[in-house]
Chain A
Amino acid sequence: MKLNNNPKEALLADLGKCRACRFCVDVCPTYQASQGVEALSSFGRLQIIRHLLTGQLELDDSLSYALYSCLLCRRCENMCKSKGQAIEICEVIQRGRAYLAPAYAKEVAQNA
């Protein structure tokens, strides 16, 4: 667990480690399956979660785009550990799910 008790701040701190080197892009199976759409790569997910947290993006369909298309296979983490910033990318994505999903559920319920 992270020492920072504020989950949003802790997430933003971890997302801030990403240098945008994009080394994790090509190893992502959903990037491959989409024939090279960067929004469907680990790099893309980290960017989208960050923009959701900062309010640059709204919830709606970005949530499924960014969070639930990830297979949690951790190939990106191996790449990030060996050639990047050693971010536990899949864990960050899971924490993004945990933090953002209740707000999304509430929004859906209000609009129902």
Chain B
Amino acid sequence: MALSGKRIKKDLARFLGEKNVFDDKPTTLVYAKDVMPYELEERNIPYAVARPADALQVSQVLKYANQHQIPVHTHGSGTSLVGLARPKARGIVLDTAAMQSLEVYPERGYFEVGAGKHLAKLRAALAPYKALLPIFPGSEPVATIGGGISVNTSAHAVDSALGKPGDYVLGLEVVLPTGEILETGTESLRRPAGVELTRLLVGGEGLLGVITKVRMRLVPAPDTANIVAYYDKSEEILATVMDMYARGLVPPMFFEYLDEAACKIGYEAVGLAPPTGAVAMMTIHSDTPEGCQAKAERFLAFLQERNPLSAEIMKDDQKWAKVWSSRAEAGNYVYRRGTTFGSEITPRVDKLLDAFADTREFILNLDNKASAQFISFGHIGAPTIHGYAFWPTKDIPSETKKALTLELRNKSEAINAKYGGCGGEWGLTAQRADFLKLRYGPDYYQALVNLKKAFDPHNILNRGNLEGWL
């Protein structure tokens, strides 16, 4: 890379205009920073931040980057919890914020949205059409649709009830790393049945192209009914989920839990009396209120067979809103009180209890810092266990934070590999190259490397993520 930052800015400004390229250090530092708790290195800080307005401008940026072999890191809102958002090789950050278009076509049964639209704004814009946006991350206020589709995460939803967002994507506008602009998929609600690029690019984590526009089904929003159930111990909730799947019951669209420690913190945060044990929350969905009620009653009867401390269908919407928000607040308040390092454990469903025990065991016995407290919550119906290590201090050196991040990653990966899972919420590359090799073997990993090379011969896009660079 022989070009200077100033030269790159000048060149990019020819395509994008002066106002849409930044090379000043304050701006480049802000775009380099992500959620990862350790300090930035020089290689993380881009030469320039580019804000293309459409696929044509993205194409111009990528052709230029290819010509000069400059790495390009795509930036939605930088909310990844596993390092996807931090540039690993100094180059250009391609910010999708200017791609904000939205066209809703009820008569065609779909909408088309620019990659930079924030999920909360998209959900609000779809509300008049009574449409469900099937992506539910905690970062909804700022996370982008482009990022959600690139990771293909339903986030907090139960996949076996709602599917993944990619199941609703009809087609994409995408720019290949070498600059070609493609349209994939269909304008019909009948999705292609055979070989089709949409499936590769959804969940591609920006390794194979830059998604600039998404065409997605307008999914009728269901009616919902909510259940809250209290238990002595978290393990009883896990056993209930295992039993739910073993009996072949229809899973709720949300099935969350807070363990004994997390629910105390979450409930106190929202002004509710803390329970004595653990709590589970479920959202049952159907296309009519009567259908919801019937399904909720059947599900409640199932829960009661297993003798929880109590379980009820929530009639008071305001109280339910408080109970539901205690999930998010538990995570926030734990972090307010100190420092946390998280894990994403997604075992084979009949191994939930074993995986939970292993997770607690490793978090209580970390090598890089003693005396962690174990706190867990998560989307247990999915199933996802988020096991957290917590220390009641902010004063942990950056190097220790990096070592702890890596230790938690490696040990949770070992549990996922042991029990046949691979994650399902946070993404599969960035820090996770070793997991891919551990879980699937070197031939699988090499197939991914070969695929990447076929799309991106100069390894321009998101360099370092498939390699697993921290």
Contact = CB atoms under 8 A, between A and B. Distances in A.
Interface of A: 13, 16-17, 19-23, 25-27, 35-39, 43-44, 47-48, 51, 56-57, 61-62, 65-66, 79, 83-86
A86 B336 contact: yes
Identify whether the interface residues of A are mostly helix, strand, loop, or mixed: loop
A46 B22 CA distance: 19
Given A36-B98, A39-B27, A79-B141, A22 B394 contact: no
Q: Which 7 A-B pairs have the closest CB atoms?
A: A36-B97, A39-B27, A44-B30, A62-B26, A39-B30, A48-B26, A20-B35
A21 B25 contact: no
B15 to A, nearest CB: 17
Interface of B: 22, 24-27, 29-31, 33-35, 51, 77-79, 95, 97-98, 100, 116, 118, 120-121, 139, 141-142, 328, 332, 335-336, 394
Given A39-B26, A51-B29, A25 B336 contact: no
B336 A23 contact: no
Contacts of A27: 141
Given A19-B335, A83-B141, A13 B120 contact: no
B172 to A, nearest CB: 21
Contacts of B77: 22, 25
A39 B21 CA distance: 12
A23 B139 contact: yes
Contacts of A79: 141
B30 A47 contact: yes
21 contacts: A20-B78, A21-B142, A22-B79, A22-B142, A26-B121, A36-B51, A36-B97, A37-B27, A38-B27, A38-B31, A39-B22, A43-B30, A44-B26, A48-B26, A61-B24, A65-B24, A65-B26, A66-B26, A79-B141, A83-B141, A84-B332
Contacts of B34: 20
Contacts of A47: 29-30, 33
B328 A83 contact: yes
B26 A85 contact: no
Contacts of B78: 20, 22, 38
B141 A36 contact: no
A43 B33 CA distance: 10
A36 B51 CA distance: 9
A51 B100 CA distance: 31
A81 to B, nearest CB: 10
Contact of B35 (A13, A21, A62): A21
